[in-house]
Chains A and B, each alone.
Chain A
Amino acid sequence: MTALETNTEPRREPPSIKKPRRVGRWILFAVMMVVAVVMLYPFWVMIITSLKSEPQFLSGGGFSWLSWSGLTSVIPIGQELLSSTIVCSSSILIILCVGLPAGFAFSKLRFRMSTVVFLVIVSAMMVPLQAILMPEFVNVTRLHLTGGYAGAVLVYAALGTPFSVFLFTTYFRGVPDELIEAGIVDGLGYFGAMWRLVLPIAVPAIATVTVLQFIQIWDDLLVGLLFIQNTSERPITVGLAVLAAGRTTSIPALMAGSLISAFPAMVVYLGFQRYLVKGLTMGIDR
């Protein structure tokens, strides 16, 4: 018998190792299925409910587009979506404009007390919105900014900036110093190095900040309710809350409005999901 022939007998894994692994995988799968159902069930209820008229909703059966076609007469959905978009995009723009250079400075520049300043900024992430809401309201009122978008935008920017500074700092720490030094030797200043070399490779971090802040701001009710007092400028969440608080609330219309409200956040999240994972894991291709 040759050496080859002696090896033809198939190798068997010990069953005691393989079996628990397979069982564990099935348990994990089952748990994930349950989680998926829990997550998707509210959407299912919203979709089904929105596809009924008010009498059909009360009686339990039937199908109708009435709540969708009549939605604009119940709430000014277009204007509210526009308001939400303006507030969201303005806030995120400020958060990015502050967070990006701050993150670059904290990660790449040497200056006195940088660690202390960084820790102070990042510690602001620990303060809950509710704890500072009243002082902020007083401040914004004194600045006469409670009517339109400006007050809410400033509050959202203040709340979101610490997280963006933290995320950009940790992300930029993963960018080799040599890359920036090469740019500086090539003729760039620090701002040029950030703008032309670091920013293009920071897309995952920018996407992460954008998505997380978008979802948070788009879904927020409290700040919009307090700081945007002009009814013509209120965001979609406030519009839906007002609708829900009405004496004769149409539940199918409310569900239709809620679906429209949730749609942009879902699209943004699903669209940037791949960057989100990359940004949060803080790696770059080298």
Chain B
Amino acid sequence: MAEITFDGVTKIFGDDVRAVDDLSLHVADGEFMVLVGPSGCGKTTALRMLAGLEDITSGALSIGGTVVNNVLPKDRDVAMVFQNYALYPHMSVAQNMGFALKIRGESKAEIAKKVGDAAAILRLTEYLDRRPKALSGGQRQRVAMGRAIVRSPQAFLMDEPLSNLDAQLRVEMRLEIARIQRLLGVATVYVTHDQIEAMTMGDRVAVMRGGKLQQCDTPQDLYDHPKNDFVAGFMGSPPMNLLRVGLDSTDGDLAVVLGAQRLVIPASYATSHALPRVDGPGVVFGVRPEDVEVLDGPSADALTTRVERREALGAEILVHLSMVDADGENAIVVNDAGAVVARPMRLVAKMGPRSGVSVGDHLSVRLNPDHFHFFDADSGVSLRKTK
């Protein structure tokens, strides 16, 4: 078991495709680190560099304190679980699991014992003589895990191992993998594009975009204090409402301008955040759907909205709201250059399953003032001064 360190690691494909750009990340011994991001963000490339399946263009990558840039995959002592499981089709489950040990030259008795122990952990004992094609998706996934476990490696590397499973099995295997990882206490780097997997499994989550690390934090810190508007929009389902707005202080209070409506910002934000001047370029204002509260009637700090769409998910309803002007028309976003963007200001709110809202209803909503987020209008960086 060991810690893993990416120190300014860069990977350039061809002449100019920067798949991973100056990645610095530390995975502690026994930690479950999730790399998450959209397709093409470089998370899989980072994992493959760690496995030794891709060369490193620059930077240093170390496992257990040893720089492994030029170490062959077989000598890195890491085990990898692939997206398509990559089970050897001509071998039985037991042979698949014991293959690495056989290559290492361990005795048959030793291999049988380790395979048996791993199979017991993974509840695979009764399938040891079967070929992979005779197994279900979940069982194959467990065999792939077993192949990693029996080696007792320094680190587990997992490349979207649940993406081929159906939704229910994915939830089960999510718990199973997290359980096994905690049981074995081996440093794990887990790649996924599913932010729910990232939030539920990782001790820490590293969010990547365009080859760059955006933020690495505990799941709750990522959710509560995103460092930029990308992380804010990526983590959470449905994502955070992000509105590009102007600031106003004509009535003495600092407020964001939402079409013809004003939303007063509590005074504490002026000290905790580096908000721009009111005649500046504005900000990106963020609020989570669960912080949009529907009121029974009009209120001084409420916004008037209209229901544009409702999505019933069973346990909750997602209501898509548009900001409404005094004349009942949708408010529209005005950008810096003064050009009108023909897109109504939209908010998504989470409501209870029995909420009787319908498309076209006018609703008064209150945004929870304790959980406002402000990001720079140009760079998208959070304006929060301290975490």
Q: Which residues of A contact B (CB under 8 A)?
A: 176, 178-179, 181-189, 192, 197, 200-201, 284-286
Q: Does B245 contact A (CB under 8 A)?
A: no
Q: Are A182 and B82 in contact (CB under 8 A)?
A: yes
> 16 A–B contact pairs at CB < 8 A?
A176-B84, A178-B82, A181-B86, A182-B88, A182-B147, A184-B74, A185-B78, A185-B80, A189-B74, A200-B90, A201-B89, A201-B90, A285-B89, A285-B133, A286-B84, A286-B133
B interface size (C-beta, 8 A): 23
A176 to B78, CA, bound (A): 21
Knowing A181-B53, A197-B88, A201-B90, say if A188 contacts B74 (CB, 8 Å): yes
Q: Does B127 contact A (CB under 8 A)?
A: no
| Interface segment out of the listed B97-105, B165-173, B195-203 | B97-105
- Residues of chain B from 70 to 112 with CB closer than 8 A to chain A in the complex: 73-74, 78-80, 82-84, 86-90, 99-100, 103-104
Of all chain A residues, which has the CB nearest B75?
A187
- List of 5 A-B pairs having minimum Cβ-Cβ separation, nearest first: A182-B86, A178-B86, A186-B100, A187-B103, A187-B74
A74 to chain B, nearest CB (A): 48
B379 to chain A, nearest CB (A): 38
Main secondary structure of the interface of A (DSSP, over half): helix
Of all chain B residues, which has the CB nearest A175?
B89
Of all chain A residues, which has the CB nearest B144?
A182
A259 to B51, CA, bound (A): 58
A182 to B89, CA, bound (A): 12
A187 to B90, CA, bound (A): 18
A285 to B82, CA, bound (A): 18
Knowing A178-B82, A178-B84, say if A186 contacts B53 (CB, 8 Å): no
Most buried by B among A178, A188, A197: A178
Knowing A178-B82, A178-B84, say if A186 contacts B74 (CB, 8 Å): yes
Most buried by B among A182, A192, A197, A201: A182
Residues of A within 8 A of B87 (CB): 182
B202 to chain A, nearest CB (A): 22
A285 to B132, CA, bound (A): 10
Q: Are B103 and A188 in contact (CB under 8 A)?
A: yes
Q: A178-B83, A186-B103, A187-B103 are in contact. List 12 more A-B contacts (CB 8 A).
A: A179-B86, A181-B53, A183-B88, A184-B52, A184-B73, A185-B53, A186-B151, A187-B100, A189-B74, A201-B90, A285-B133, A286-B84
Q: Are A184 and B53 in contact (CB under 8 A)?
A: yes
Q: Are A187 and B104 in contact (CB under 8 A)?
A: yes
Residues of A within 8 A of B84 (CB): 176, 178, 286
Residues of A within 8 A of B103 (CB): 186-188, 192
Residues of A within 8 A of B53 (CB): 181, 184-185
A180 to B65, CA, bound (A): 28
Cross-interface CB contact of A185 among B51, B83, B89, B104, cutoff 8 Å: B51
A181 to B74, CA, bound (A): 10
Residues of B within 8 A of A189 (CB): 74
Knowing A185-B80, A187-B104, say if A179 contacts B88 (CB, 8 Å): yes
A176 to B52, CA, bound (A): 18
Cross-interface CB contact of B79 among A185, A201, A285, cutoff 8 Å: A185
A182 to B157, CA, bound (A): 11
